[in-house]
Structure 1
Amino acid sequence: MKRILAFLLFSISLLSCDRNSPPPGILSEDEMVTVLIDIQLTEGIVSALPVAFDSSQVLYSLMEKDVFRKHGVQDSVFTKSIIFYLEDAGKMDRIYSRVIDSLTLHESIPGDSLDLF
């Protein structure tokens, strides 16, 4: 009986570990943070430009592709990853907290520039 109970507890602990790591084809939390930082910076750059809305959308689309290329991420993988993390509000909150902290730190350091491309 003790062996069965021990086996069950061991099995449950193994299954719970798998829930913390993303499935194959999904970016890790760290990767999501770095990509989202660059996406937020790109959105800020485009929104600050004195161009028409339609032009800014085209420009953003091109710059977003550069962000994905920089990180070696396909846009479909990024989209799947966003959907995956949105299913768990706690994980998404943790990711965006890290993004906001990084952007706030970047903003507070004079002369600090993040390499977008």
Structure 2
Amino acid sequence: MTPEEDLVRIAKKLDKMVSRNSTEGALDLLKELRSLKMTLKLLQETRIGMSVNSIRKHCTDEEVISLAKLLIKDWKRLLGTQINGLDSRKKSSGSNSLSPETQGRLVFLL
């Protein structure tokens, strides 16, 4: 299974948990997510951040909430480093990188 397929599978399971109001097993899925190498492209294509944030909002288990928050923070940091890297390349090369509007859309994905 490709990383993208793994993320889509996990996202579907998390979304199903939220819709059924049963977050049993969410901790295992979040731990699995923690072990996967995340890229900005995977975050955008799979929208996994939306599923993790949703489970965070609907869960009452403090451990699940903490791990979900940690994942989201890590992914936002990843987004920040990618944007900062593009900004420094833009300054040195004079080329356009991400517009503020695009940056806002990327942050929304998380």
Q: TM-score w.r.t. structure 2 length?
A: 0.30
Greater RCO structure (CA 8 Å; 6+ sep):
1
- Rg bigger for which structure? 1
Q: TM-score w.r.t. structure 1 length?
A: 0.28
